[in-house]
Amino acid sequence: MAKHNTNTVLKKSLTQQYQGCPRANFFRRLGAYLYDLFAIAALLMLAGIFAVLVVIIVNKLGLISLDAYQDVADFLASSQLFALYLATVVIAFYGYFWTKAGQTIGMKAWRLRVQNSDGSNISFTQSLIRMATSAFGLGNVMALFSSHNAFQDTWAECEVVVLSKELSNWKGFKGMAFMDQDKK
């Protein structure tokens, strides 16, 4: 029984801690955005390499012909399917990290977390709304003004907060998913 009570107290205090975090300012958001650009660039390079390998294999099998193109890169550059594939990779990156832990790699480095006002993780729908309304990061300009959410956060009904060092370094962090387990 004592262990159950300890876990209940821990859960409540974590929820209260997440709710009590201050909103992130423009410069922290910009730092996290720049960090994430490097991660996204590396991820897109890997996705591009995979696409090139697939096109080469499909060409060798005779399913497509590259005769009208200079090379594989020319074929991919003219392909709308390839552009959609790369967009899907970026959407999957942000959607996964925001919904599972509330943080991307850059946000973790800058101790930022995207969350609902109750401290829970955002849904995938909210992450899509954030991406669609962010204008490639320009929506963060509203965060220049104190106590304002960024444009995309207002539309997605969420917030980006600055975590304390203790919350950021907590090794057991899995978002607020542990709270959903008690409801089952």
DSSP string, 62-104: TSS--TTSSSHHHHHHT-HHHHHHHHHHHHHHHHHHHHHTS--
Q: Determine the pLDDT at residue 143.
A: 85
State residue 146's pLDDT score.
Answer: 66
Position 9 in a domain: no
Within a domain: 17: no
Predicted pLDDT at 30: 93
Query: Position 57: which residue type?
Result: I
Assigned domain for 14 exists:
no
Question: Do you know the residue count of the chain?
Answer: 184
Inside any domain, residue 153: yes
Q: Which domain holds residue 45?
A: 23-183
Asked if residues 11 and 179 have their Cβ atoms less than 8 Å apart, the reply is yes
Half-sphere exposure (CA, 13 Å, Cβ side) for 87? 10
- E-strand ranges in 25-183 read 112-115, 159-162
Considering the domain boundaries, does residue 103 fall inside one? yes
Is residue 6 included in any domain, yes or no? no
> Alpha-carbon distance 13 to 95, whole Å?
27
Domains contained in the chain, number: 1
Is residue 160 within 8 Å of residue 24, measured between CB atoms?
yes
Helices (H) and strands (E) counted in the chain, each on its own, are 9, 2
Q: Which residues contact 141 (CB under 8 A, 6 or more apart)?
A: 26, 150, 151
What pLDDT is attached to residue 178? 46
Q: Which amino acid is at 14?
A: L
**Full pLDDT tens readout for the chain, 184 residues:** 455 544 544 554 667 777 888 889 899 999 999 999 999 999 999 999 999 999 999 999 999 999 999 999 999 999 999 999 999 999 999 999 999 989 999 999 999 999 998 889 999 999 999 999 998 888 888 888 766 789 999 999 999 999 988 888 765 555 544 444 444 4
Do the domain assignments include residue 7? no
Domain for residue 107, yes or no? yes
- The pLDDT assigned to 147 comes to 66
